[in-house]
Amino acid sequence: MKVHAAPISLDIELAVRIKVRNPDVYSLNYESLNVTVEYRGEQLGFVTSDDGSVKAFGTSYVDATLVLNGAEVISESIHLIEDLIKGSVPFTTTSEIRGSLGILLFNLPIAATLSCEVVVDAHNQTIERQDCYPA
């Protein structure tokens, strides 16, 4: 965590481990995974990950780094307080992944971008709704 005095801002960098359940028949080997997190059109931060894999019909763990830029969070704090009072906070994520799909003995190259509108329940801190679509 870094605090900057002029202008006042706060940067946070966290190492995160994400548990991924894959019910599909294919595995995914990825070279890069980048996700931006936005709140009301302002980028809050981003998640990056080095290469890795998600097993077919199994559970995998993805290690990533979450970086949040506090200056943008502070500028949207009034809206954030309103959303917290309402009980739900909307976020937008854009994910870019490059790698390959493992189907039987073949590895098919893949590059994809996916956008998601995520609404988080502020009371129990769970995802209330998530709508994703190709970007």
Q: Is the pLDDT of residue 13 over 80?
A: no
The Cα 71–Cα 91 span in angstroms is 17
The structural domain count of the chain equals 1
Q: Minimal CA–CA distance to 118: which of 48, 45, 64, 38?
A: 38
The Cα 135–Cα 125 span in angstroms is 27
* pLDDT tens digits along 77-91: 778 778 888 888 898
Q: Is the pLDDT of residue 73 over 60?
A: no
The Cα 42–Cα 15 span in angstroms is 22
What is this structure's pTM?
Answer: 0.69
The CATH number that applies at residue 40 is 2.60.40
Average pLDDT of the residues in 43-58: 83
DSSP string, 38-97: EETTEEEEEEEE-SEEE-TTEEEEEEEEEEEEHHHHHHTHHHHHHHHHHTEEEEEEEEEE
pLDDT band for position 9 (50/70/90)? low
pLDDT band for position 117 (50/70/90)? very high
Q: Which domain holds residue 81?
A: 2-134
* The pLDDT of residue 72: 56
The rounded radius of gyration (Å) of the Cα atoms in the chain is: 17
pLDDT band for position 1 (50/70/90)? low
Q: Peptide bond before 23: cis, by omega within 30 degrees of 0?
A: no
